[in-house]
Amino acid sequence: MKYLIIYAHPNTASFNHAIMETITEEFKKSNKEFEVRDLYKIGFNPVLSSEDLAAIQKGAVPHDIKTEQDYIRAADTLIFISPIWWSAMPAMLKGYFDRVFSLKFAYDITADGVIGLLTGKKVFIVSTTGASKEDYDKMGAFKMMNLSMDMAICQFSGMEVIGHKYFSSVPYVLDQDRKQMLEELRLLVREKVL
């Protein structure tokens, strides 16, 4: 089984980075094959251009998009790690979906309707928030993220979402609380992902 981590946070000192390191440590301990695509580090261009659209429609997928699609094709399980900013994924990750999860790669339109093309792949998502769980519950932000990312992107593309873990109030809790969050994540990875 091969794993692909798609990581979207610009700060290497962030809790999101610690999440990525925790997951990769678990993969190394279990001798799992994995790749990390750090979207900020690789300088991924998240802007879907008219040239991109025209090329994709002609079946001539731009090189940088094809590279990311090849990583996804090779993976059995995808892991997305990102913060939630303004009740949504960062623009970098949204742009990744816009450009990489294109027609004829992630989905197709047939006489019977839309079909997902990434069947057989599993997805595990880890999201962090600055706001409290109570505040996000009150405004429906978690439900909205589950609808947009889990259902409208991942499941729409034919993938099975095996979990979406949220860590709340990350900048405002004590270091020991963040350490506990990482231990909770280790257990989740062992139970659901490995």
pLDDT tens sequence across 167-180: 999 999 999 999 99
Domains of the chain are 2-193 (3.40.50.360)
The pLDDT assigned to 1 comes to: 85
**Whole-model pTM?**
0.96
More reliable by pLDDT, 144 or 96: 96
Least confident of 2-16, 76-90, 91-105, 131-145: 131-145
Q: What is the DSSP string of the chain?
A: -EEEEEE--S-TTSHHHHHHHHHHHHHHHTT-EEEEEETTTTT------HHHHHHHHTT---HHHHHHHHHHHH-SEEEEEEE-BTTB--HHHHHHHHHHS-BTTTEEEETTEEEES-TT-EEEEEEE-SS-HHHHHHHTHHHHHIIIIIIIIIITTT-EEEEEEEE-SGGGS-HHHHHHHHHHHHHHIIIII-
